[in-house]
Amino acid sequence: MAQSARQIADELRERIHSGELAPGARLPGEPALVRDHGVAKETARRALTLLVTEGLAVRRRGSGTYVRDFRPIRRVANRRPAQDGWAAGRSIWQADLEDRPLSVTDLTVEEAPAPPRVAQALGLAEGEAVLVRDRRFVVEDQPVQLATSYLPAELVRDSAIARPDTGPGGTYARLAELGLSPDRFVEELRARMPAPDEAERLQLAEGTPVVEVWRTAFTEDGRAVELNRMLLDAGVYVMEYHLSS
């Protein structure tokens, strides 16, 4: 009896997890899977696609499908925005990456009318001006996240937050200098498929989902001072949370 795409993917996944197929190794191609498992070409293609969408494999056009050799990023949500990091001049990203190389590309900073969701989150009138910082984060030459921060323009337009380089500690350190130090954060997450332009900017393989995170930063007196929309390549992230009972 011919195997299903899921069964073939299960076998390949086990070979990856066991180390038989090491990071960077080429997976059996569709012709080999058709021959070895007695399945249709479409079934073989679906089996490989399952591994790609799980983040275990990547397709290289004209070459084949390979075991992903990119070490996952462990995003510890409780640790990332901790004050002892940005207050000491460290980037939030240092909590995730340690010494792995990071670059910021496609950076734009501009004022724009607040969209409805942004206005509601920041307690602004719809269409009121917000400062928008949009950028793409690249780790080891691989795009891993898109981020767009929205801040009330009247609060930050004359500060370093309105410059491309916000300085040591980033936006949160500059907010603290303005007397608007973030004291707590709320994050909302959902998984979805990316829009075509999002997939292009993140260089996602077909069928790869993203994790969308909306994080709101509040001052001690409850004022919302930043809304940050992050779009993560689900194939390269591990989401970690520390919860107390």
Mean pLDDT of 114-137: 96
pLDDT at 87: 63
Checking phi first, is residue 170 left (phi over 0); if not, alpha (psi -120 to 50) or beta? left
Paired tokens of 150: 């929205």
Domains assigned to the chain: 5-67 (1.10.10.10), 73-240 (3.40.1410.10)
Lowest-pLDDT range of 7-16, 95-104, 124-133: 95-104
Quick one: DSSP state of residue 165? -
Q: In a 3-state reduction of DSSP, which class is residue 58?
A: strand
Q: Is the Cα dihedral 108, 114, 117, 122 positive or negative?
A: positive
Q: In a 3-state reduction of DSSP, which class is residue 221?
A: coil
Q: At residue 21, does pLDDT exceed 70? A: yes
Q: At residue 239, does pLDDT exceed 80? A: yes
User: Percent of the chain beyond pLDDT 90?
Assistant: 64
Asked whether the beta carbons of 240 and 77 are under 8 A apart, the reply is: yes
pLDDT at 88: 60
pLDDT at 1: 53
Mean pLDDT of 137-159: 95
pLDDT at 95: 72
